[in-house]
Amino acid sequence: MRVVITSSGNSPDAKLDSHFGRCSYFVFYDTVTQGMEFLPNPYKEIEDGAGTAAVQLIASRGAGKIVSGEIGSKIKPLLDSLKIQMIIFRNKEKSIQDIINLLNH
């Protein structure tokens, strides 16, 4: 399964970014191959609709789960309709690698 984690940077040591639609990077993690890809968020600076655009990007890349610190209320119905699970992770001090370790257990 492909999992997307919102990240503040482009390395496994980066911290979780708590803002889904305006995060700095999306980390696409494959739980089967354990491959990791860091993608800069192309919607971080847009005026309106960053969350919706981000969901469409994530869905087009086959993600089944999103891990973020916060996901807006307008995004939940869209994720539900696409059958993408949301995982809200409130500990912003965890690194991307820490979160991946938790996903693997």
Domain count, the chain: 1
Q: What is the pLDDT of residue 99?
A: 95
User: Measured between alpha carbons, how far is 93 from 15 in angstroms, rounded to an integer?
Assistant: 6
Element (H, E) at 4: strand 2-7
- For 9-66, write each residue's pLDDT tens digit: 999 999 999 999 999 999 999 999 999 999 999 999 998 899 999 999 999 999 999 9
7: domain CATH number is 3.30.420.130
Its pTM stands at 0.94
**12: domain range?**
2-103
Q: Which residues make beta-bridge pairs with 25?
A: 7, 40
Burial of residue 13 (number of CB atoms within 10 Å: 0-12, 13-18, 19+)? exposed
Total Cβ atoms within 10 A of residue 104: 9
